[in-house]
Chains A and B, each alone.
Chain A
Amino acid sequence: MSVALEIKEKEPKPETKKMLVTGAQGVLLSLLEEGVDTIFGYPGGAIMPIYDALYDFSDRLTHYLVRHEQGGAHAAQGYARITGKAGVCFATSGPGATNLITGIADAQIDSTPLICVTGQVFSHLLGTDAFQETDVLGVTMPVTKWSYQVTRAEEIPEAMAKAFYIATSGRPGPVLIDITKDAQNATFEYEYKKWNKIASYFPVPKLKQSEIIAAAELINQAKKPFVIWGQGVLLGRAEEEFKAFIEKAGLPAAWTILGLSALETEHPLNVGMLGMHGNYGPNIKTNECDVLIAIGMRFDDRVTGDLKRYAKQAKIIHIEIDAAEINKNVHADVAVNADAREALQALLPLVEKREHKEWVQSFFDAYKIEFNQVIREQLFPTTSGGIQMGETVRIISELTEGKAVLVTDVGQHQMVGMRYYNFKETRSNITSGGLGTMGFCLPAAMGAKVGAPDRQVVAIIGDGGFQMTLQELGCIFQYQIGVKVVILNNNFLGMVRQWQQLFHQKRYSFTEMVNPDFVGIAKAYGIAGSKVSEREYLQGQIKQMLAHEGPYVLEVVVEKEENVFPMVPAGESVANIRLD
């Protein structure tokens, strides 16, 4: 017998646990089998049988009616990021499904496990340009980890079980299951078996000890080792192993924005943020270190700048679960194709105890330069100008004691938020990294709060991004989801304006915004809110917001033309980071 068939034989056979249900009920029963209790969604014609069945499941499945399917996808992302479970969203066919796409693409590039269930027209209408028919599988193919169209009810349990297995295993990602209306309506004998093997799918490579030994040798010989870590540490739940590893080997470590919060901000070996708006030290030291140890990150261009001038002097160790990421952007001298946690567990006994005192200190010397030139004035402004984004984040950080979940959108406020929030707990930072999706924050914060109702969830959004998905205030109000929304309003698309200032001779082409009364919008949705534009009231207003029961919108009018520095200009070397 061929191996392909042998492996196939090993795929789980459903146990007998049969009952007669409709396809729609089968979908919901499958969700329960996978431990789902929360769904974000929006009904419509082609998914009505599922919604009809949902009516009888409301004691076991809480459904949040979002106000736009994009909001549903982002909410499911926020939920997934905070809980580590797959986020689930429902949408109807055609426009419902296409509205999900931005969220799916965001989840794909940021490795977020998502189960998107979309209704589809009757199977006999497929390909006829029927009402609300879109080839959603075709449209989403480049941005899903896997997708499947169900045309017969009998396929539902297996499709759902595979969807959960694929979305959450290995490098996670979004999966889309498209179900025709007739498959939802038909009755069939339901039986469910969780999936944990697919013959053609290899999510977790076996750790190779030879790779670990080679990595340990390089680390032990290094004079100037430098760790850069990404979301792989969080996805692999490797925070403890990571900390033990860098502490034993005395390794300064810097984060990508998706890796942020895996190690507390004030840890003596946490040297800050990488990349375009990262800290000064980590950027210049990238081109000074002798061994660069990348863990669970993918050398995104916003992290590396010009690849031809990136860490050329260093030996590079790349610990990464996804084989396709190894040698994709940066050549690895030692590639460890493995789960981060397993790799770090194996590395720990092999690395020698070191301190690298002077080397670590050099990062803090660089930080001092950055602090004096950039940070102090942003966190503790001495001039009488407008409120700084940085000081707002500092105050939020202090008042929440670094224990809140910080959700950010995309742009200046995002960089400032992540640079200056003093994280004490892991899995506390949610942002749109790879795709850079404006409009991500509000729905993602909503999903995060649903996923972690006992934690303070603070959404920091720009005035631009807020207006991209502000309809979700409706969902926040309806279910009283207690997110604290801070709009840092500079009446500009600030990051684009900053680029126009620096690289386009201050030609502010369509970046200035005439904004509505944000607090008035919140009030119209029945959500409490206030506005602050003077420094002396800032702390008090933030305090009031945090103390408020339920959702709150705080508009902070900030300095109109503030720039985010440091900055590695696009296409430049990380060594050429600008402080002003």
Chain B
Amino acid sequence: METMPNYSSSEERNYTIFAFTENKVGLLNRIVIIFTRRHINIESLTASESEVPGVYRYTIIIRARYEQVEKLVKQIAKQVDVLRASFYPEEETIFQEIALYKIPMTSMINSHEVEKIVRDSHARILTVDPLYIIIEKTGHLDETRALFEQLKPFGILQFSRSGRVVITKHMKDLSAYLREQAEAYL
């Protein structure tokens, strides 16, 4: 909401939507139906307690047009239990994802290749078990996907990637926003 678009509003881009809420039963559902009703697919969604105690941060990634996101965020902000909702294009954020890969121990034993791949891709081995190893890789989608492709020949037993966690580049904190918002209303 802070940023005006400097590109064609008909262009689809990745946006990060933040919703700061109180911890209320059913609120996740209330937020999600705003998207589903408009046929907008959520690419990823994470929820956690924010830097303010008792306030939860939903981080929602969608691919959409600017005006679509703007309307969505207004609908989210309108929900009674939502403290604040905002959105940012990718370039105004720093984000990260994490992926876990489960590989059979036999692949590790039979070749040194896996170890080399792990080292070269700046991943790390999280757990070693007699039957399997679990590799952890933090990185953007293309990086975790590349590692997936490299590990594929060794047999990936399980693969799981987290939703995106996002921090904005600007320096204003949530409290300042909330104060501003509270002042804008009676």
Chain A residues at the B interface, C-beta cutoff of 8 Å: 2-5, 7-8, 137-138, 141-142, 145-147, 149, 166, 198-206, 322-324, 327-328
Contacts and interface: CB of A to CB of B under 8 A. Distances in A.
Instruction: Identify the 3 closest CB pairs spanning chains A and B, nearest first.
Output: A324-B74, A202-B185, A3-B178
Contact of B74 (A137, A198, A201, A323): A323
Contact of B52 (A4, A149, A323, A327): A4
Nearest to A147: B26
10 contacts: A3-B176, A3-B182, A4-B20, A4-B174, A5-B53, A7-B182, A141-B30, A145-B80, A146-B80, A328-B71
B175 A198 contact: no
Contact of B186 (A7, A137, A200, A206): A206
Contact of A199 (B22, B29, B175): B22
Contacts of A146: 80-81
Interface in B152-186: 174-176, 178-179, 181-186
Contacts of B37: 142
A338 B148 CA distance: 53
Contact of B21 (A142, A147, A200): A200
B70 A327 contact: yes
Nearest to B78: A324
Interface residues on B, range: 35 or more
Contacts of A324: 71, 74-75, 77-78
Given A327-B70, A328-B71, A201 B26 contact: no
B103 interface: no
A322 B186 CA distance: 14
A138 B29 CA distance: 8
A199 B83 contact: yes
A199 B181 CA distance: 11
B54 A5 contact: yes
Contacts of B74: 323-324, 328
B186 A204 contact: yes
Given A2-B52, A5-B53, A202 B175 contact: no
Nearest to B82: A200
B33 interface: yes
B151 interface: no
Contacts of A142: 33, 37
Interface string B28-51: 011001000100000000000000
Among A2, A138, A204, the one with the most B-chain Cβ atoms within 10 Å of its Cβ is A2
Interface of B: 20-22, 25-26, 29-30, 33, 37, 52-55, 67, 70-71, 74-75, 77-78, 80-83, 174-176, 178-179, 181-186
Nearest to B73: A324
Contacts of A323: 74, 77-78
B55 A4 contact: yes
A335 to B, nearest CB: 12
A3 B179 contact: yes
A2 B55 CA distance: 10
A300 to B, nearest CB: 16
B81 A137 contact: no
B185 A204 contact: yes
Contact of A200 (B33, B53, B83): B83
A206 B184 contact: yes
B26 A138 contact: yes
Given A2-B174, A205-B186, 19 more contacts: A3-B179, A3-B182, A4-B175, A5-B53, A5-B54, A141-B26, A141-B33, A142-B37, A146-B81, A149-B26, A166-B80, A202-B182, A202-B184, A203-B185, A204-B186, A206-B183, A322-B78, A324-B71, A327-B70
Among B22, B77, B82, B178, the one with the most A-chain Cβ atoms within 10 Å of its Cβ is B178
Contacts of B70: 327
B36 to A, nearest CB: 9
B80 A4 contact: no
A4 B54 contact: yes
Nearest to A323: B74
A108 to B, nearest CB: 12
B70 to A, nearest CB: 7
B31 to A, nearest CB: 10
A200 B186 CA distance: 13
A199 to B, nearest CB: 7
A8 B176 CA distance: 15
